[in-house]
Amino acid sequence: MSDTTTIDPDLRQQVVDTICELLPRVLKREVSGASETTTLMDDLGMSSTTGLELVLELEDKLEREISVEDMGRDNFETVGSLADYVAGNLLPEE
Amino acid sequence: MTALVAIGTYVPPDRVPIESLADEFELTPMQLRVFRRYHKLGSAAHAPSLSLTELLGLAVADLRLTVEQAARIRYVLYARTFPGVVPYPLNPLHEVCRSFGLQHASAFAVGHHACASGLLAVDLAGRLLASAPPDALALVLTGEKAFTGEARFVPETSMFGEGAAACLVAASGPRDRQLSYVASLRGEFDGELEEVAGEFQRIYHDALGAAVTSAVSSAGLSLSDIALILPHNVNVVAWQRVCKRIGYPLDRVLLDHVADYGHVFCADAFLNHRTAVARGLLQPGDHYVIAAAGAGRGATFSAMVFSH
Amino acid sequence: MFALGLRRAVSRRYPTPALLAADAGHAARLSTYLTDLLAPQGLTLAPDALTPVRGQSYGEMAVPLLPADPVDLLVLAYDVPDISPGRAVSTYLTHVCPGSPMSFAVSDQGRAAAFTALSLMQTYAATHPRAVLIAVEQADLPYDPGVPVTLPAAHAGIALHLAADAPPASVTVTPDSDAVLDSLDGLDAATVVLGGGLAGLADDVKADRVVLADPAQPMTGVWEALAALDLDTAGRIVVADYDPALRYLCVATFG
């Protein structure tokens, strides 16, 4: 469970926005009304591998590497929970 | 207590990279990146010029059975992921037995536990040997050909590799003794993989984790007593998630061969055991887990605890 | 010493086609599977091999053979593949069988698979006192394998319902055997059921009653004959058969 108190809220918001931007690309269809409470698997029908594609797209977009070692199903629950995870698990920039 | 006596293996030198599956399985460049980066699927062992009989035979040959050992083999069990792999009535199992002078043994296939059938075979071998003369042996054969699409790639999950293992089993022995066995049969996942995939993915890590913890507690142990897990080489993400569920360190799961062998059907445990021993990862007295899960119109999650 | 014994034996024939046979999606997948299965042997699937799908489904055949009461163990024995060669049938049966029993399948041993299944089941007797053995065979092979092959004449299935509190059964499967009569001597059986592989020995077997199983049903014939006996009056029963291709002599004794 990532410690949200140490996450930069601006970074987190940037990740939320980027996720919402990337959803149509990853799901290969129109996605409307996505927000941080949107549930990835239930609302959007995202599969485990598509979820990882999203993480990879995020890495490309944010130009940062994300450590997935501690990632579990619960991190993929909502756009917000994923943003929490990503923002808390960016590898230090080189 | 059932004991593993020796393991013979064969992994062919050729490899097929995951990119070579892109056309057949309509994999996008992004999907391939995900597989390489996260699942650690890279390439799979490939033996295009070897028949199934030859593949199995090479693993048996690797055992270097003495005439005396061969004479003591009463049972040969072939554990397969795919129930039907050659045209009927061809019988690679009995061909291999003939090649190695094992016609005196009772040979048969056991399965319908998908990739967990190898664990079933070890357990059944031990059960039969328990009421056989004490010096009797059984041979457990595993390994298959990636002869059809379903046997090459499981969508979103793994690449199958061609290879084989031959495990000599005794009713008792000084090491690699079986302490427990748990098989969780989930027949509700009978149906084409695409239909059941969502629900199956949802329960997979819980079910596999539960099989591991159940086998460990059946053996009167706790997870901290387990030095190593020898997994089925499905992919790294699956095991990351299982470890997270049960609180076991990922670096004690031997996942090195996911990227270079692929998922060698029911043989992964035995190939991984070979590597573990070669690398000195198992000391006498260490407890380890062999675990595997499979699906294919019916899902099974199994685990066994051994004492090295 | 725990051992399973025979409670009852049931048998069925299946005159109507499998429901799965009508599934076009399944037929298409089966076609791909079989084509790939045959290719390494240089064999091909005829264009009309699966139009219609003539074979049966072991999953469907087994369901009416399942016990009404819970069991702890279920083992499926078969030899000829069915129309779902990739399906983990016994795992599916665990899901639908009362008691959600531990299950597995035994194959690749001709008609001896049912006898081997019985001997495997005996090793579970102490912990799994209620068990069912299901042996099935279906009569259609949608390709010419290029070698001699014997198929059953009809789709057939049997179930042996076993329990630890019934008179114990015993089984031997002898590999590399010539069809040896001696093994049937001294068994002191009231009733002997001889499978097609041993029919030639009928006159030499000593028993109060010798029953010849349907020789056209290699996998289920002997068990079908067993199912037709009145277990209360048959006395000690020996079921014996010989697999001529794989050379296993199989003998099971009940009671």
Q: Which of B146, B170, B194 is the last residue of a domain?
A: B170
Q: What is the DSSP string of A45-86?
A: ---HHHHHHHHHHHHHHHT--B--TT--GGGGSBHHHHHHHH
Structure confidence at residue A92 (pLDDT): 81
pLDDT value at C201 more than 50: yes
Cβ distance of C100 and B93 shorter than 8 Å:
no
Does residue C123 lie within any of the structural domains?
Answer: yes
CA angle B56, B151, B55 (to 5 degrees): 15
Q: Which residue of C has its CA nearest to B91?
A: C108
Number of compact structural domains in chain C: 2
Picking from A42, A50, A52 by the largest number of B CB atoms within 10 A of its own CB, the best residue to mutate is: A52
Q: Nearest CA of chain B to the CA of C227: how many Å?
A: 25
In a domain, residue C224? The reply is yes
Q: Given A55, A57, A73, which is nearest B241 (Cβ)?
A: A73
- Residues of A within 8 A of B237 (CB-CB) are 48, 52, 68
My answer on whether C99 and C214 are in the same domain is no
The verdict on C126 and C178 lying in the same domain is: no
Per-residue pLDDT of chain B (308 residues; tens, 9 = 90+): 999 999 999 999 999 999 999 999 999 999 999 999 999 999 999 999 999 999 999 999 999 999 999 999 999 999 999 999 999 999 999 999 999 999 999 999 999 999 999 999 999 999 999 999 999 999 999 999 999 999 999 988 999 999 999 999 999 999 999 999 999 998 887 776 666 776 777 788 899 999 999 999 999 999 999 999 999 999 999 999 899 999 999 999 999 999 999 999 999 999 999 999 999 999 999 999 999 998 766 799 999 999 99
Of B170, B189, B212, which residue constitutes the final position of a domain? B170
Residue C203 belongs to a domain: yes
Do C120 and C153 lie in a common domain? yes
Instruction: Report the number of distinct structural domains present in chain B.
Output: 2
Least CB–CB distance from B296: residue in C38, C59, C86: C86
- Please report the pLDDT score of residue C196 as a whole number: 96
Could you give the CA distance from residue B81 to residue B233 in angstroms, rounded to a whole number?
13
Asked whether residue B114 falls in the same domain as residue B136, the answer is yes
Please tell me whether residues B45 and B81 are part of one structural domain. yes
C196 and C157, same structural domain?
no
Q: B with C: how many residue pairs have Cβ under 8 Å apart?
A: 162
Compare CB distances from B89 to C33, C95, C245 and report the shortest one's residue. C245
Phi, psi at B174, each rounded to 5°: -80, -15
On whether both B117 and B255 belong to a single domain, the answer is no
Report the pLDDT value the prediction gives residue B219, as an integer from 0 to 100.
98
Q: Is the peptide bond before C52 cis (omega within 30 degrees of 0)?
A: yes
In this prediction, residue A9 carries a pLDDT of: 87
> Using CA of residue B208, residue B214, residue B217, residue B218, what is the dihedral sign?
negative
Same domain, B50 and B78: yes
Nearest-CB residue to B244 (from A48, A57, A70)? A70
Going from the C-alpha of C36 to that of each of B14, B48, B54, B112, the distances in angstroms are: 21, 14, 18, 21
Find the closest chain B residue to A50 by CA distance.
Answer: B31
Are residue B242 and residue B128 in the same domain, yes or no? no
Cβ B276 vs Cβ B96: under 8 Å: no
pLDDT of residue C155 exceeding 70: yes
> Are C122 and C221 within one domain?
no
Q: Give chain C positions within 8 Å (CB) of B148.
A: 32-33, 36-37
SS3 labels along C160-223: EEEECCCCEEEEEEECCCCCCHHHHCCCCCCEEEECHHHHHHHHHCCCCEEEECCCCCCCCHHH
In chain C, the N- to C-terminal Cα span, in Å, equals: 16
CA distance C84 to C18: 11
* Cβ distance of A72 and B250 shorter than 8 Å: no
Judgement on whether residues C66 and C157 belong to the same structural domain of the protein: yes
> How close, in Å, is residue C37 to chain B by CA atoms?
6
Indicate if B190 and B260 belong to the same structural domain. Answer: yes
pLDDT in the model for residue A94: 65
A48 with B240: Cβ contact below 8 A:
no
- The pLDDT assigned to A1 comes to 47
> If you measure CA to CA, which chain B residue comes closest to C245?
B89
Instruction: Please give, rounded to a whole number of angstroms, the shortest distance from the CA of C250 to a CA of chain B.
Output: 11
pLDDT of residue C2: 84
How far apart (Å, rounded) are the C-alpha atoms in residues C157 and C98? Answer: 19
User: What are the pLDDT digits (tens) for C108-120?
Assistant: 999 999 999 999 9
Rounded to the nearest angstrom, the minimum Cα separation between C208 and chain B is 31
Q: Which domain holds residue C244?
A: 169-254
pLDDT at B13: 98
Picking from C113, C147, C163, the residue at the C-terminal end of a domain is C163
Does residue A61 sit at the B interface (CB-CB below 8 Å)? no
Residue C124: inside a domain: yes
Nearest CA in chain C to B94: C246
Query: What is the rounded CA–CA span in Å between residue B270 and residue B246?
Result: 23
How many residue pairs bridge chain A and chain B with CB atoms within 8 Å of each other?
37
Which of B170, B189, B211 represents a domain boundary (last residue)?
B170
Domain annotation covers residue C236: yes
Domain residue limits at B238:
177-307
- Picking from C163, C198, C218, the residue at the C-terminal end of a domain is C163
Residues B11 and B117 in one domain: yes
Q: Cβ contacts (< 8 Å) between A85 and chain B: which residues?
A: none
User: CB neighbours of C78 closer than 8 A, spacing ≥ 6?
Assistant: C58, C105, C107, C113, C135, C136, C137, C219
Residues C187, C139, single domain; the answer is: no
Q: Cβ neighbours of residue C149 under 8 Å, at least 6 residues apart?
A: B88, B89, C141
Average pLDDT over residues C85-99: 95
B304, amino acid identity = M
Q: For C16-75, how does the pLDDT look when each residue is reduced to its tens digit (9 = 90+)?
A: 999 999 999 999 999 999 999 999 999 999 999 999 999 999 999 999 999 999 999 999
CB contact under 8 A, C36 and B112: no
Residue C159 phi/psi, 5-degree rounding, is: -135, 135
Q: Label residue B67 exposed, middle or buried (CB < 10 Å: 0-12, 13-18, 19+).
A: exposed
Q: Can you tell me the distance from the alpha carbon of C204 to that of C225, in angstroms, rounded to the nearest whole number? A: 19
A52 closest CA partner among B185, B40, C80 = B40
DSSP letters spanning B137-204 = EEEEEE-----SGGGTEETTTEEB---EEEEEEESS-SSSEEEEEEEEEEGGG-S-HHHHHHHHHHHH
- Check CB contact under 8 Å for B198 and A68: no
Residues in chain B closer than 8 A to A47 (CB atoms): 156, 197-198, 201
| B284, β-bridge pairs | none
Q: Which residues contact B16 (CB under 8 A, 6 or more apart)?
A: B43, B44, B46, B159
Q: Are B142 and B164 in contact (CB under 8 A)?
A: yes
> What's the CA angle centered on B283, arms B281 and B289, to 5 degrees?
65
* A69/B241 touch (CB, cutoff 8 Å), yes or no: no
Alpha carbons C165 and C142: distance in angstroms, whole number: 43
Tell me the pLDDT of chain C averaged across its residues: 95
Residues B107 and B182 in one domain: no
Nearest Cβ partner for C88 among B89, B109, B114: B114
Which residue segments constitute the domains of chain A, with CATH numbers given? 4-88 (1.10.1200.10)
Token pair in block for residue B1? 């207590």
Neighbours of chain C (3+ CB pairs under 8 A): B
Tell me, yes or no, whether C132 and C247 share the same domain: no
Nearest CA to B75 among B42, B51, B97, B53?
B97
Q: What is the pLDDT along chain A (94 residues), one digit of tens a residue?
A: 445 457 788 889 999 999 999 999 999 888 888 888 988 888 888 888 888 999 999 999 988 889 887 888 788 889 999 999 999 888 887 6
For the segment C76-88, what is each residue's pLDDT rounded down to a tens digit? Answer: 999 999 999 989 9
Is B108 found in the same domain as B53? yes
Bridge partners for B77 per DSSP = B108, B140
Select from B30, B156, B240 the Cβ nearest to the Cβ of A47.
B156
Whether the per-residue pLDDT at C186 is higher than 80: the answer is no
**Is C96 among the domain residues?**
yes
Look at residue C226 in the predicted model and tell me its pLDDT: 98
CATH number of residue B52's parent domain: 3.40.47.10
Pick the last residue of a domain from C163, C184, C214: C163
Residue C25 falls within a domain, yes or no? no
Query: pLDDT by residue (tens digit) across C206-242?
Result: 899 999 999 999 999 999 999 999 999 999 999 999 9
Reference C99, options C69, C64, C140, C126; nearest CA is C69
Chain B hits for C246, CB-CB cut-off 8 Å, are 91, 94
**Same structural domain, C173 and C250:** yes
Cα C197 versus chain centre, distance? 15
- The residue that leads in pLDDT, C183 or C2, is C2
C33 inside domain: no
CA distance B37 to chain C (A): 30
Looking at the structure, do residues C11 and C129 belong to the same domain, yes or no?
yes
Touching subunits of B (3+ CB pairs, under 8 Å) are: A, C
| Touch C-A: 3+ C-beta pairs under 8 A | no
Task: Supply C202's token pair.
Answer: 């009928």
Residue B182 shares a structural domain with residue B108 = no
Based on the domain organization, do C76 and C118 belong to the same domain? yes
| A48/B30 touch (CB, cutoff 8 Å), yes or no | no
Strands (E), chain B: 3-10, 14-17, 43-46, 73-80, 106-111, 137-142, 153-154, 158-159, 164-170, 177-186, 226-230, 287-295, 299-307
Work out the number of other CB atoms within 10 angstroms of the CB of residue B202: 13
B146 lies in the same domain as B54: yes
**Are the Cβ atoms of B103 and C85 closer than 8 angstroms?**
no
Of A45-54, C98-107, C164-173, give the lowest mean pLDDT range.
A45-54
- pLDDT per residue as tens digits for the range B160-187: 999 999 999 999 999 999 999 999 998 8
Residues of B240-251 as b/e, b for ≥16 C-beta within 10 angstroms? bbbbbbbebebe
Is the domain of C11 the same as that of C130? yes
Question: Residue B31 and residue A49: Cβ atoms within 8 Å?
Answer: yes
C-beta atoms of B186 and C91 within 8 A: yes
Q: B39: which residues sit within 8 A by CB, 6+ positions away? A: A52, B157, B158, B235, B236, B237, B258
Please indicate, yes or no, whether residues B181 and B166 belong to a single structural domain of this protein: no
B44 and B262 in contact (C-beta within 8 Å)?
Answer: yes
